[in-house]
Amino acid sequence: MTLTRMRLAEGVWEGLLSASTKAAPKLLLRHRDELVGEPETVETEPAAGEVARWLVRFRLPTERLSDGVQTFVIEDASTGDALAHETIFAGEIVDDDIRAEVSLLRAELDLLKRAFRRHCSET
């Protein structure tokens, strides 16, 4: 099974699930390793070489959104394999975290550039 993210619009995540089996998939939606629902699946016309395809949808549970990083995982109920995920960043804390992370990455990149230039000039 392959689940491809299509879009997130008006709080609804949508993806396209391709499978080599005709059986309707049972999917689960998890947040912080807790079950928060089952995504809706609607069978669609399969592409060439595929047995079946489904449109997968779920509404982001607003009661689960808060400051920080929230990750929702869609998994195959029969195997527990993660098929897709959606990560949501929210709040002022995230802005500071992202700025700090970018600043750290820039500093590390500058350090690598200086070391690389020094290495090239020595050779």
In order, the DSSP letters of 51-75 are: SEEEEEEEE--GGG--SEEEEEEEE
Q: Is the pLDDT of residue 11 over 90?
A: yes
Among 4, 78, 68, which residue's Cα sits nearest to residue 32? 68
Same domain, 51 and 13: yes
pLDDT, residue 94, reads 65
Number of structural domains in the chain: 2
Tokens, residue 115: 């070391």
Residue-number span of the structural domain to which 95 is assigned? 91-123
Residues 74, 104 within the same domain: no
Same domain? 118 vs 72: no
pLDDT in tens, 61-118: 999 998 888 899 999 998 889 999 998 988 776 667 777 788 778 889 988 998 899 8
Same domain, 66 and 82: yes
Please give the model's pTM, rounded to 2 decimal places.
0.72
